[in-house]
């Protein structure tokens, strides 16, 4: 009787595991990382001469966690690349670029984004069969909002933060006593480092839009990733290779 009960429990556990594995393989795992890591270049923990090794380590660590998710059953990933960090209100005030984005900081983000795409494609081909993924260019989406305020997107304030204090309302953290804008839906940035809900609503629409495939998502849109209707991969490095190389000259 004990043997029969044990066999039944093993069978039930196996059926449960199979169901969990199936659910995991059908689920979308959304990953956004790297933004805070670039603070090391602003607080003295890393210098521009360390950029190549530092960014390579970031990407290696990123891929390590993705491979662990794959081992645990994840088969569908949505990845968000790094923001144009030099355009964050907090970065502008820290580096004294109130009227313009910090080009050197943005070049670090572009370098990370290019390497992430290259290494993710390589890792999938080498060791993650069955993995489907899409990388959304948060860098590109936010850059469009910031540099093209004349576009009919309703976000007319792309420099200052909605909640904070000091220059650009971005020298102080957002708190209950902070200066608060009157129309948060008209701002790209909520505080000195985070986008507003309105900005991310527009970003999500771009990620899922198949028409934006070659501009904001690759190798497929998030919509195609979820529905399984795959599109032909686009040439990723053509758009990113030059910023990747430009940084070498700057550092």
From the list 69, 169, 61, 160, the residue with the least C-alpha distance to 115 is: 61
Burial label, 219 (beta-carbon count in 10 A; 0-12, 13-18, 19+) = buried
Strands in the chain per DSSP E: 29-32, 76-80, 132-136, 157-161, 163-164, 179-180, 187-189, 217-218
Nearest residue to 91 via CA among 168, 183, 155: 168
Q: What is the DSSP letter of 171?
A: S
Provide the residue ranges of all domains of the chain, joining segments of one domain with +. 1-150+209-237
According to the model, what pLDDT value does residue 41 have?
77
pLDDT of 153: 66
Give residue 48's pLDDT. 80
The pLDDT of residue 210 is: 57
pLDDT given at position 211 = 57
Query: For position 88, what pLDDT does the model report?
Result: 95
Residue among 193, 168, 185 at smallest CA distance from 88: 193
- pLDDT value for 11: 52
Per-residue pLDDT of the chain (251 residues; tens, 9 = 90+): 434 444 544 454 555 677 878 888 888 999 988 878 887 777 778 778 888 999 999 999 999 999 999 999 999 999 999 999 999 999 999 888 788 899 999 999 999 999 999 999 999 999 999 999 999 999 999 999 998 866 656 788 999 999 999 999 999 999 999 999 999 999 999 999 999 999 999 999 888 875 544 579 999 989 889 887 654 443 333 333 333 333 333 33
Query: What pLDDT score was predicted for residue 47?
Result: 79
Report how far Cα 180 is from the mean position of its chain's Cα atoms. 27
DSSP-derived secondary structure letter, 195: B
């Amino acid at each position: 009787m004990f043997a029969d009960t044990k066999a039944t429990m093993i069978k039930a556990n196996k059926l449960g595991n199979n169901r969990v594995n199936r659910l995991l393989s059908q689920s979308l795992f959304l990953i956004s990382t790297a933004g805070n890591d670039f603070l090391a270049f602003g607080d003295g923990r890393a210098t521009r001469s360390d950029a190549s090794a530092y960014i390579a380590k970031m990407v290696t660590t990123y891929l390590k966690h993705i491979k662990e998710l794959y081992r645990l059953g994840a088969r569908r990933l949505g990845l968000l690349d790094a923001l144009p960090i030099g355009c964050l209100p907090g970065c502008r005030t820290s580096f004294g670029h109130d009227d313009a984005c910090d080009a050197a900081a943005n070049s670090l983000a572009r370098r990370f984004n290019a390497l992430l795409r290259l290494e993710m494609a390589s890792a999938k081909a080498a060791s993650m069969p069955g993995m489907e993924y899409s990388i959304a260019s948060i860098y590109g989406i936010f850059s469009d909002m910031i540099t093209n305020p004349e576009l009919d997107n309703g976000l007319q304030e792309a420099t200052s933060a909605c909640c904070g204090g000091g220059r650009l309302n971005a020298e102080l953290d957002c708190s209950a006593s902070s200066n608060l804008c009157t129309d948060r839906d008209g701002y790209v940035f909520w505080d000195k480092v985070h986008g507003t809900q309105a900005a991310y609503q527009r970003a999500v629409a771009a990620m899922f839009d198949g028409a934006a495939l070659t501009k904001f998502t690759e190798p497929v849109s998030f919509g195609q990733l979820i529905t399984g209707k795959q599109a032909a991969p686009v040439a990723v490095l053509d758009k990113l290779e030059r910023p990747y190389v430009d940084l070498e000259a700057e550092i």
